[in-house]
Amino acid sequence: MEIKRTRIADLLKRTDYGQEVLVKGWVRTKRGSKTVSFIALNDGSTIKNVQIVADLEKFSDELMKLITTGACLSVKGTMVESIGSGQAVEVQASEIEVLGTCGDDYPMQKKGQTFEYMRQHAHMRLRTNTFGAVMRIRHNMAMAIHTYFHEHGFFYFHTPLITASDCEGAGNMFQVTTKNLYDLKKDADGKIIYDDDFFGQQTSLTVSGQLEGELGATALGAIYTFGPTFRAENSNTPRHLAEFWMIEPEVAFLDQEELMDLEEDFIKYCVRWALDHCKDDLEFLNQMIDKTLLERLEGVLKDTFVRLTYTEGIDILQEAIRNGKKFEFPCNWGDDLASEHERFLVEEHFKKPVIMTDYPTAIKSFYMKQNEMTADGGSIGYKGIKAPASTMQGTDVLFPQIGEIIGGSVREADYDTLMGEINRRKMDMTHLWWYLDTRRWGSCPHAGFGLGFERLILFVTGMQNIRDVIPFPRTPRSAEF
């Protein structure tokens, strides 16, 4: 009877010693003596290797020379209890087949390589311990997200990747066209005519599925999107990608307090899932990448998130400046907070995650619900805190190491108020007529947030660069693989 392959993750849990097994994978290391060779084999199912013990009397020199770091092997042998430390199981080989050789030019040799070097070989870096761990955690976080929303009554809602609208109004979008770019039709004013293009109008890759998600929430009650989004920003930083994945839940009849409850509960669920399902990978990353990783993850579960208004946050930052704290960027009321400000609040002042609310209207998107205005031009927000100017019900979650990890808000449900803000900003709503219809016909209170998936993976893994938590990063002047 032919033996079926056993995944190494499953093999390492077994205790039925003496059984014949078949394992396949890639060589991590090979060492030995004149009589025996010890081969560390890994198939990607776990951070742990299985040790293959090869009696050199049974195998030719020609075969053993082919077994080098990176080579792919198929090994039959007897599963025995390991006498060495570090593993309970090893395989005493009876048959070894080299499925794929690996020469000296293999870029992931067993030596210390920089992350920058490995980005140049992103197609091969996945076979290393670090990136294997990151990708398994990435998978588990995706499973946690789907499980959380399914268990809480949300519907998985698919929003378009090709769109004629710009959700954020920033204009940093990748255009989609079938036109010959060397022979564009233009009108008398020099503007491109799209009537011969595939969609008959200018279209782009989406920057967010939120606006379409709002349509889903006003019909299904609670939805979430989870898919790729695209930003054509020329940002070469450790926190930005041109192509990344977003999670965007949207819920009808949700107020500001309930939205913050959802944000905190969701992010804690994901962190708890990682600790429960990714123990070996997290322990490896805690040892090799960030020795405070496990402590930081546990801390998120232990603490209740601080909830404070933007105005209160600015007061804290200004007090820190008066006490000698230096910031690179200004943080006066009305400024968009930089990552350094957010991290100061989280890591130094409160020493726990923060949900910041009630941002100035001028620095937030048009669709956010406005707070009650006062006679002197100020506004009243969360907990009755007064701000010196108009504010909106934003609810951003700030995390250690990351800064903003979630951006959310209550949406403006009143048609006249929404149109007033649109007109004040002089926005062109030609392609968003359908969005305004939700405020004309059966409008309801609703709220939601967006979570950049890669930023979640950054936090959970302790990695320092967002390009190292996605298999094939897309950044300015980089679209390899």
pLDDT digits (tens, 9 = 90+) for 51-67: 999 999 999 999 999 99
| Residue 171 confidence class, pLDDT cut points 50, 70, 90 | low
Question: Contact 247/145 with Cβ under 8 angstroms?
Answer: yes
pLDDT above 60 (res 70)? yes
In 10 A of CB 22, how many CB atoms? 16
State what percent of residues in the chain have pLDDT above 70.
Answer: 99
User: For residue 439, what are its two tokens?
Assistant: 């405020």
Rounded average pLDDT over 136-153: 98
pLDDT tens, residue by residue, 379-416: 999 999 999 999 999 999 999 989 999 999 999 999 99
pLDDT of 237 strictly over 90? no
**Residue 111 pLDDT level (bands cut at 50, 70, 90):** confident
Per-residue pLDDT, 169: 58
Paired strand residues for 380: 372, 386
Domain segments of the chain as ranges = 8-100, 129-172+207-468
Residue 287, pLDDT above cutoff 90:
yes
Backbone angles phi, psi at 77, to 5 degrees: 180, -175
User: Is the pTM here over 0.75, yes or no?
Assistant: yes
d(CA 176, CA 187): 20
- pLDDT of 170 reads 55
Band the pLDDT of 1: cuts 50, 70, 90. low
Q: Tell me: the pLDDT tens digits for 176-197?
A: 999 998 888 999 999 999 999 9
The model's pLDDT over 97-110, given as tens digits with 9 standing for 90+, comes to 999 999 889 998 87
What mean pLDDT is predicted for residues 68-93?
Answer: 91
What's the mean pLDDT when you consider all of the chain?
Answer: 94
What is the rounded distance in angstroms from the CA atom of residue 144 to the CA atom of residue 14? 27
The answer to whether 371 and 365 have CB atoms below 8 angstroms apart is: no
Distance CA 237, CA 290 (A): 20
Structure tokens at 409: 């808000």
CA distance 26 to 69: 8
Q: Please report the pLDDT score of residue 431 as a whole number.
A: 86
CATH of segment(s) 8-100: 2.40.50.140
Tell me the Cα Rg of the chain. Answer: 27
Kindly report the backbone phi and psi dihedral angles of residue 25, in degrees, each rounded to the nearest multiple of 5, phi listed first. Answer: 175, -165
Give residues with Cβ within 8 angstroms of 100, minimum separation 6.
71, 72
Q: Which CATH architecture has domain 129-172+207-468?
A: 2-Layer Sandwich (3.30)
Q: List CB contacts of 118: < 8 A, sequence separation 6 or more.
A: 108, 125, 128, 131, 468
CB neighbour list of residue 70: distance below 8 Å, 6 or more residues apart: 26, 27, 102, 106, 108, 109, 127
pLDDT at 168: 63
Burial class (CB in 10 A: 0-12, 13-18, 19+), 290: middle
Q: Let me know: does 333 contact 380? Beta carbons within 8 Å.
A: no
